[in-house]
Structure 1
């Protein structure tokens, strides 16, 4: 069985250095032909669909940056804890913390990449009316102090 430590290190480094200019050349080769990618808003197969998600990201936020904080590897499965920073259209800075589960194939290519992060905390609570409703629900669900 292949040791995927170098694969994981290179994949994490590619994410940390990701730009619109190097998206296809530096990130694309990591993915198996029918790789699966999932985040809270997308579920797609294949590099072209994955690339479209990142292209959309680069068009909708300013200065997006991934920083891998920790990583763990067991056999062909890795977990990455990351911080995603960006600026919105009003140039307000944002940080999103999340985790990715990444599965490698025998050649070291990514078969599956699934992102886990809290859309309620980082997105929905910031929407004017919806955010107020979600914060009210959260207060009701907390134990009384």
Structure 2
């Protein structure tokens, strides 16, 4: 079995995301293509400028945001999946307590940077479960579906 070496761009991705905060969003230009396509369960964005605006809003509204990168599955030097855990505090969610969400990013890289970034995570665990009325309904539905 051969092991794919870690592509240089993944190391750059890790450096940028490990240091990411509201003051370091300009560093995203070092790793992403200007025509980036970004998708997650809540939004689809086209262009690096739109992605930066999206992240700026997240950092502005949250009291704390931190990403811990985990295991990476390298499909090829141009495509991989990166696990992560996000921890954040938002004054309107969970009474301002720390919320932890696990996720995975599918990344595709080409000339000019990462041109496709899709995040997979449980939007209920991130948002809905921490809203007063909707949270109770969401937890009941999950409990009812469990074996």
TM class by shorter-chain length?
0.7 to 0.9
Tell me if 1:39 matches 2:50.
no
Aligned position for 2:90: 88
Tell me if 1:104 matches 2:109.
yes
Which segments of 5 or more consecutive residues in structure 1 lack a partner in the other structure?
Answer: none
**Contact 1:38-1:114 at 8 Å conserved across structures:** yes
Which structure 1 residue ranges, 4+ long, deviate > 2 Å from structure 2?
none
- Report the number of matched residues: 139
Cα distance between partner residues in 2 of 1:67 and 1:59: 20
**Contact 1:72-1:79 at 8 Å conserved across structures:** yes
Aligned position for 1:5: 7
How far is the alpha carbon of 1:133 from its aligned partner? 1.4
Question: Which residues in structure 2 correspond to 1:70-81 (within 5 Å)?
Answer: 70-75=71-76, 76-81=78-83
How far is the alpha carbon of 1:4 from its aligned partner? 6.5
**Contact 2:86-2:101 at 8 Å conserved across structures:** yes
How far is the alpha carbon of 1:122 from its aligned partner? 2.7
Aligned position for 2:129: 125
Could you tell me the TM-score, scaled by structure 1's length? 0.87
1:120 counterpart SS class: helix
How far is the alpha carbon of 1:97 from its aligned partner? 0.9
Could you tell me the TM-score, scaled by structure 2's length? 0.86
**Contact 1:4-1:108 at 8 Å conserved across structures:** no
Aligned position for 1:49: 50
